[in-house]
Amino acid sequence: MMEQVDSISIATSSMLVELNISCWTARKLDKKVSEEVDTAKNTKVKAGNYHKHLLAGNPHLDAVNKYAAKVRLWNTQQTIPWSDNGGRIVTMENLFSGGYKAQLDTHKEEFEKLAANFVSVYPTLISGAAFQLGDLFDREEYPNPDSVAGKFKFNYTLIPLPTSGDFRIDIGEQAKNELMQQYEQHFNDRLNVAMRDLWDRLHDCLTHMSERLASDDEGKRKVFHGTLITNARELIGLLKRLNVTNDPKLEEARRDLEQALTNTDTETIKESDYMRENVKAKVDAIINKFNW
């Protein structure tokens, strides 16, 4: 369990970011086909639904949705969890020095560009959909371009992280103290979850490295991608910027991993049995050193 920390010091060194990205899925429930399937299969009840992709086989919309998924994943990596409704902690260091806000603005610009490109060709894609969908095609199911454009949104909000003393309501002192104590517990519970997330990321990284750097049952080197090392180096930087409680153990583990990868690179580890075994030994030592 993490030691209790000062909520004010955390709040002054961090903010909450709420990122909302929405896309048009172009999926539509086809009630007629659903009924036809039930009839063909002799079901006695409504057994399922058939959803068709209005732009099936077309890459333009997929490009927008895949980019949105990429940004959501990136945001998860750059922040740590806080609230159930999606708000996540971003440290001031990562917000500015780490380039988080600049990258987020770049992602927003690229997303809006992809969405605009899709909307611009959308009318011509409908004709292609008629060919692709055959008897499933229904022109009435396709919204007008303005309506489709409104379905793509990329918004984010940066808000202060509240502290237990931040109660702007007129209540009795006893009730206020109870609320403050309740929120202090809530704050520390959330912070425990956030810091646990960082430890889990590190553990996943280390165990994956250990597994890929080991030899197989026949004593042969296992194949690993260059991202095994580059992802570890990226995590080393993130852990330094996202350690909101300045957890000394987490910083020690981070430094140990940083040291394990000093003066080596992917190609060296791939080509040298000695370096491969050396890095694995250091990674295993980190795994065994801490109480995960």
| CB-side neighbour CA atoms (13 Å) of 208 | 13
What are the structure tokens assigned to 203, written together? 């553990």
Is the pLDDT reported for residue 169 higher than 80? Answer: no
Q: Cβ–Cβ contacts within 10 Å for residue 221, how many?
A: 15
Encoding tokens for residue 21? 């990205």
Lowest mean pLDDT among 31-35, 217-221, 237-241, 255-259: 31-35
Burial class (CB in 10 A: 0-12, 13-18, 19+), 128: middle
* pLDDT 10s digits, 54-76: 887 678 999 999 999 999 999 99
Query: How big is the CA angle at 37 (ends 32 and 41), to the nearest 5 degrees?
Result: 150
Q: What is the pLDDT of residue 172?
A: 58
Most confident of 52-61, 128-137, 177-186: 52-61
Cα–Cα distance, 149 to 68 (Å, whole number): 15
Q: Under DSSP, is residue 61 helix (H, G, I), strand (E, B) or coil? A: helix
User: pTM to 2 decimals?
Assistant: 0.77
Q: Where are the alpha helices (H) located in 150-245, listed in sequence order? A: 173-213, 227-242
Domain ranges for the chain: 13-160, 199-289
pLDDT tens per residue across span 81-105: 988 777 999 999 999 888 999 999 9
In one letter, which amino acid is 149? A
Residue 87's identity, in one-letter code, is: G
| pLDDT over threshold 50, residue 4 | no
